[in-house]
Amino acid sequence: MIRYTLRCADGHEFESWFQSAEAFDKVRAAGGLACVMCGSDQVTKSLMAPALGAGTKKGAPEPAAETAPMLSAPDSPLEAAMKALRQRVEASAENVGRDFAAMARRMHEGEVEDRPIYGEATREEARSLIEDGVPVAPLPWRSGKDN
């Protein structure tokens, strides 16, 4: 596993783990990267120094559990807050996926019952919704099933 420090076009920095350098390139090429702060899809690797360890000798004891990093634990209060927000949204709203723009517009126009939804929209769809007065807000994560 490789941990990269990533930076979006707005200068936000965050970290993410990838199976390999090739895996990072594939995810980026497929449009699977987004800034955790603002949702921008303009994400690049930030300049970083490699983490070089002294290695472990055979028979050396493993690091104590309390000192070993937990990959699933939040790295900062911001990450903890983002995780809590995502859990709250996913528990209280329906994921309508790629139908988000159409469903939001239908709700705004009174064609269907108003309810909490989330999903995906292109920049053009989101811009059109905002210009038409449909209340929407970007979420700082992708809503696909692979997350």
* Residue-by-residue pLDDT tens, the chain, 147 positions: 788 888 888 888 888 888 888 888 888 888 888 887 777 888 888 766 566 555 555 555 555 545 555 555 666 788 888 888 888 998 999 999 999 999 999 999 999 999 999 999 998 999 999 999 999 988 877 655 544
User: What residues does CATH 2.20.28 cover in the chain?
Assistant: 1-47
Query: What's 1-47's CATH class?
Result: mainly beta
What is the rounded CA–CA span in Å between residue 95 and residue 86? 12
* Residue labelled with tokens 């019952």: 113
Contact yes or no for 42/60 (Cβ under 8 A): no
In terms of phi and psi (left: phi > 0; alpha: psi -120 to 50; beta: otherwise), the region of 23 is: alpha
Q: Say whether pTM exceeds 0.85.
A: no
